[in-house]
Structure 1
Amino acid sequence: MSAPRVVVAGGHSAGHIEPAMNFADAVRRLEPTAEITALGTVRGLDTTLVPARGYPLELIPPVPLPRELNRALLRTPVRLRESVRAAGAVLDRVRADVVVGFGGYVAGPAYLAARRRGVPIVVHEANALPGVANRMAARMTRHVFTAGARLPHATAIGIPLRRAITGLDRAGLRDEARRRFGLRPEGPVLLVTGGSQGARTINTAVSGAAAALRAAGVQVLHITGPQHQVEVPDGDPPYVVVSYVDEMRYAYAAADFVVCRSGAMTCAELAAVGLPAAYVPLPARGGEQRLNAEPVVAAGGAFLVDDADFDSTWVEARIIPVLTDHERLAAMSAKATAAGAPDADVVLARHVLTLVRRAVAP
């Protein structure tokens, strides 16, 4: 059999690109000769994130599709036709055996181009509320995988994650990680992050509880985001403030509990490494982030609190008692781990490679 030729379509945002690249890494581990091409656009993070992972990137015109099947969708036929034509040209040039889509601006045109050519389609949906491109594609193929979203023919496998996360030995890396951030080797550590851009609500609530956290002996690693600052007086135990962390595995290894938003990737990563959390969903997009967090919350591995209700008093009343109770912390960690799916990248890669082999078999 010749080397499988796989096209991945998951452009624009990190939430689409990261699962696509993690899947591609798994394909290469299982089948080193595989030829993998990524579709993207100049509009998002594609031109930064994809080349950094070592994959060739083919650009097509972006076609933002509305999240709902409504009249706005009918106003995009010209742009969509141009983008489908460009995607089809890529599929023809690389002689694609399969298209694996992860949603986003490039997925819809890629699905349509693949369908016209009879190229097998595989869909992965990371979010609890699927976008219109993946809902459309789920009607074109029976090869649909999700992190739990309801789509036709769907199999829930979780989200493809980096090996640096799923293979993380938190206990083994803890001392090094804490030294890296200037934290003590002993004592509970609260990790605070609002995502790559930060979150004002989270920053204000946790920094406002700094005195209570210190009084309880809790150390804090607070990632504010590059556009935000918090003022916390020097004191002991350490309250470390940084604007950004390049390698989150070190932050995860240093931590015992996390306060964060509940994007799909964040929820998947924290479950994979067994970190309990207080999730503060972004109050937008139809409550999608709340849905992302609900499985691990139901399992007992996390708390869920509305953005409007999250303040310093909540931190003091709900988080400090967990961080200062070793047995309760360990129990929540175990429940978070049980809700995780660390092998989604391999499961999806094996399915795609098997599909390709069957499609090209004589």
Structure 2
Amino acid sequence: MKNQNLSVVLAGGGTAGHISPLLAIARAIRAGAPEAEILAVGTAAGMETRLVPAAGFDLATIERVPMPRRPSLDLLKLPLRLAAAVRQAGRILDEAGADVVVGVGGYVSTPIYLAARRRGVPLVVHEANARPGLANRIGARLTSHVGTAFRNTPLPNARWVGMPMRREIARLDRPAAREEARARLGFEPGRPALVVTGGSSGAASINRTIASALPALAAAGIQVLHITGRGKVQLDGSGAPLAAPGYRQVEYVDGMEDVYAAADVLLARAGAATVCEVAAVGVPAVLVPLPHGNGEQALNAASLVEAHAAVLVADRDFTPEWAVRELVPLLQDSGRLAAMEAAARSLGIRDADERMAAMVFEAAGYRTGNGGAGSGGTGNSSAGKDTDEIR
């Protein structure tokens, strides 16, 4: 088994939903194999151009491959574009001397998967969503090493490993971190705390509902930290920033571990990372899936909802009236919140990064410093466009 100079190429990008697990896997690989050479592959237009170098990893880029949703000139160009991207991917693998390729889906994964297959380079796939994307549906047919964040994701050879996440979140002890996190986020002690977020780009429908429901929330003594998204500051009728007793709005929070520690309830979209982190840390949640797309966010949330660890509300139903009728009583019911917290933690997986690293070492035939190829983890399972990209 190989035990020196392991070269790992990780492919994925475009959104934080792909980049965050990629980086978590990369860190776990480096922890298990400090001498490993690690290269990430993304596109020149994705968030990876900022996030990957900031995390201390090298980045190579290839072209996006548009996947038209309807007959068009772009559809005719698809074979040539894909072939060009596969050639680019192949050059990257050759220059890196890749021993193993890891893909998390996204714009670049299909060309990397196909280039790896042509070269006989072992392939490892991680799928973050309950409904897999096209790239990983292709990749999963090219390997027996497939990890999924959700138990019932329909991919061949799938192993349920959980969602690789930052260790500051995976190892969070909510009760121990609660008071300091609340102080950092501006919450007062002894009052219910609601944190609202629509992700880094915000969610206009959620923002509107919270702004309209704010008088009722304030009257009930509920504190609100409203993470609006960049450039989405909420204004009142006079054009001034929205204000109310116990209400604070910010565009962004650097470090969601404080949010998870401080919140009595998290109100958010049902992205795969959010759902898995909610389970790992055990925070009660109200989840409002995106109203468009392929319905994957509702599927992501299904296990939490079935276990009564989270409340699901459709975007069209998330109105100020719903917030007054359902959200206010929830925040005032400590018994129900405690039950939701316990139920969430029963579904959470905290060591998915280590499980994926072990799968990478297994695929590469790499012997770790402890004499094995990795055991798969021992952590807590308290557990409208005309074109798209192949993802």
TM-score range, shorter chain: over 0.9
Give 1:358 shift: 6.0
**Where does residue 58 of structure 1 map in the other structure?**
60
Q: How does 1:229-240 map to 2 (within 5 A)?
A: 229-230=233-234, 231=236, 232-235=242-245, 238-240=246-248
**Where does residue 117 of structure 1 map in the other structure?**
119
**Where does residue 274 of structure 1 map in the other structure?**
282
Tell me which of 252, 258, 268 is aligned to 2:260: 252
Bigger drift between 52-61 and 224-233 goes to: 224-233
Give 1:115 shift: 0.4
Relative distance call for 1:300 and 1:250 in structure 2 (3 A) is same
**Where does residue 147 of structure 1 map in the other structure?**
149
Aligned positions, number: 358
SS of match in other structure, 1:33: coil
Give 1:288 shift: 1.3
* Runs of 4+ displaced beyond 4 Å: 70-74
Give 1:319 shift: 1.6
Higher relative contact order (CA 8 A, sep 6+): 2
SS of match in other structure, 2:87: helix
Corresponding letter in the other structure for 1:82 = A
Corresponding letter in the other structure for 1:234 = A
Q: How does 1:1-362 map to 2 (within 5 A)?
A: 1-65=3-67, 75-148=77-150, 149-230=153-234, 231=236, 232-235=242-245, 238-357=246-365
SS of match in other structure, 2:188: coil
* Per-residue CA distance 1:281-321 (angstroms, 9 max, x = gap): 11111211111111111111001111111011111211221
Give 1:99 shift: 0.5
* Per-residue CA distance 1:324-361 (angstroms, 9 max, x = gap): 111111100111111222111111101111221269x9
* Per-residue CA distance 1:114-150 (angstroms, 9 max, x = gap): 0000001111110122111111111111111112321
Contact 2:102 2:125 in 1 (8 A): yes
SS of match in other structure, 2:279: helix
Q: Take 2:99 and 2:73, find their aligned partners in 1: how far apart are those partners?
A: 34
Provide structure 1 residue ranges, at least 5 long, that are not aligned to the other structure: none
* Per-residue CA distance 1:186-223 (angstroms, 9 max, x = gap): 22100101111111111121222222222222111111
Give 1:252 shift: 1.7
Q: Take 1:329 and 1:209, find their aligned partners in 2: how far apart are those partners?
A: 21
Contact 1:10 1:103 in 2 (8 A): yes
Q: Take 2:244 and 2:63, find their aligned partners in 1: how far apart are those partners?
A: 50
Corresponding letter in the other structure for 1:135 = R
SS of match in other structure, 2:365: helix
Contact 1:181 1:240 in 2 (8 A): no
Q: Take 1:200 and 1:39, find their aligned partners in 2: how far apart are those partners?
A: 32
Overall identity of the aligned pairs, in %: 51
